[in-house]
Structure 1
Amino acid sequence: MMIFTDKLIRRKNLFLLTGLFMTLVAVSCAPKYDPKPAPDRRLPEMQTNVATFSTSGNAVENFNLSFTSLGNVAIEEYGIVYAFLPDTTAVNLVIGGAYPTAKFKNAPRMGANTETFNISFPSGMHALSYRAYARVAGGEVRYATNRLNKTY
């Protein structure tokens, strides 16, 4: 009877140790709880401002834009995408397409941002259409909610 009881005790202990080991493994593999939520990804918001033109009226002297929010994602590039057109026809002003960009060199800041470019108006064209853009880390591009047109 004693041998049977010893075997039973050993099996019971082995069962308890196996259960304890399995519980420890399960607890150590469980994902850790992070009490801090991940920060919201806020992208910059901007507005296209009126460009200034040379006194002769045949060149863009400065492009202007205003950031109403810089967001919390790094701005890698920003500026104005523009098109010289025969008239004020609406075109899809996006960067990387058919239209040139005027890239700003200074670091972006809240409020007005202005850069000098002196871009001459091409002959045969009678309109300039432009809007602000910002490319953020990861490659996403944000555009101003407005675009401006100038007939000359």
Structure 2
Amino acid sequence: MTFTQKLTNCKNLLLLTGALMMFVAVSCAPKYDPKPAPTRALPELTTGIATFKGDAIDNFYLNFTSLGNVAIEEYGIVYAFLPDTTAVDLVIGGAYPTAKFTEAPKLGANSKTFNIGLQAGTHTLSYRAYAKVAGGEVRYASNRVNKTF
């Protein structure tokens, strides 16, 4: 075998080896997934009408119209006893107390008995539902309820 033939065989072997390595690299590369990441859906809820027993709030109600796909860490009612019907910013972690529900949230109506006494010198109870999700974000009900007594 002549030197030229040996050189040609080496070139062919190198080309074949390069093509084989390229084939292996392409077949091992991660595949493109055309599906987008799931959308973060937060819970949606509305405030229900509280029931009273004598001079106390007996039950608070709220309604989940959607539980979303993010874990709900806490939910309940934020409320304020007020001297009149003045609107206040009902948010958790502020000046107003919360009535936290302890059962796992479920789609539809949720209620809990609290027996919270009405405060002397006040004439209005203002309240709305909330849900705190994983990551700390808080969703509030689209409606609030004001009850004059």
State the TM-score, normalized to the length of structure 1.
0.82
Structure 1 residue aligned with 2:2: 2
Q: Which digits, 9 at most, give the CA deviation of each residue in 1:21-70, with x for residues without a partner?
A: 134224312x2244766544332221101111222xx3211111112222
**Distance in 2 of aligned mates of 1:24 and 1:85:** 73
Stretches of structure 2 that go unaligned for 5 or more consecutive residues are none
Structure 1 residue aligned with 2:31: 32
1:143 shift after superposition? 1.3
Q: Which digits, 9 at most, give the CA deviation of each residue in 1:73-99, with x for residues without a partner?
A: 332221101112222222221212222
| AA aligned opposite 1:108 | P
Written as runs of structure 1 = structure 2, the 5 A alignment for 1:58-137 is 58-137=55-134
Stretches of structure 1 that go unaligned for 5 or more consecutive residues are none
1:47 and 2:49 are equivalent in the alignment: no
**Distance in 2 of aligned mates of 1:89 and 1:64:** 22
**Aligned-pair Cα RMSD in Å:** 2.3
Count of matched residue pairs: 149
| AA aligned opposite 1:149 | N
State the TM-score, normalized to the length of structure 2.
0.84
Other structure's SS at 2:93 match: coil
| AA aligned opposite 1:131 | R
**Distance in 1 of aligned mates of 2:10 and 2:89:** 79
**Distance in 1 of aligned mates of 2:88 and 2:26:** 59
Q: Which digits, 9 at most, give the CA deviation of each residue in 1:100-150, with x for residues without a partner?
A: 110011222222211111112223332221101112233322211100111
Q: Which digits, 9 at most, give the CA deviation of each residue in 1:4-33, with x for residues without a partner?
A: 22112202321331232134224312x224
Shifted more, 65-74 versus 111-120: the winner is: 65-74
